[in-house]
Amino acid sequence: MPQSFIAKIETGERRLTAAELIMLCHHLGIDVRKVVAQVLARMEQRHAVNKASNRSI
């Protein structure tokens, strides 16, 4: 993967497609299922925090 491709992802200039995420994880030796599980857990935490803050209003 070209360094420029990675740099654009790091800076938020470019988002990954699902296929690119799988490919990137493969190149890095990372289990894509663990990455997705971590992302989902963070999203659920944020949702819970947002839901709780909306109740206090």
The per-residue pLDDT string of the chain (57 residues; one tens digit each, 9 = 90 and over) reads 889 999 999 999 999 999 999 999 999 999 999 999 999 999 999 888 777 777 665
| DSSP secondary structure letter of residue 31 | -
Question: Which parts of the chain are beta strand (E)?
Answer: none
Q: Report the predicted TM-score, pTM, of the whole model to 2 decimal places.
A: 0.68
Contact by Cβ (8 Å): 25, 35:
yes
Give dist(CA 21, CA 5) in Å, integer: 12
Give dist(CA 6, CA 23) in Å, integer: 12
**Under DSSP, is residue 6 helix (H, G, I), strand (E, B) or coil?**
helix
pLDDT at 32: 98
Token pair 């663990």: residue:
34
